[in-house]
Amino acid sequence: MNEDVLNTTVRKFLKKLGVTAQREIEQAVRKAAADGKLKGEPLIAKANITIDGVGLSFDVDGAIEVE
């Protein structure tokens, strides 16, 4: 296994994940705000990452502040 290739491809995946997730979250929050659905409370967020080839699955939880 080439550690440099692993590190580079993991970072590329995480960058793509981060950019895509941020865009989707911001669009959804803006739409909810425009529709009057936000109450000023933090939005609970959860993401699941899986990699089938190594049997990895884990969750990341957090909150998104909108006020």
pLDDT in tens, 10-50: 999 999 999 999 999 999 999 999 999 999 999 999 999 99
Whether the model pTM is above 0.85: yes
CB 48 within 8 A of CB 57: yes
pLDDT of residue 51 exceeding 90: yes
Distance CA 47, CA 38 (A): 21
Distance CA 58, CA 37 (A): 29
Specify the number of domains making up the chain: 1
Residue 31 lies in domain:
3-64
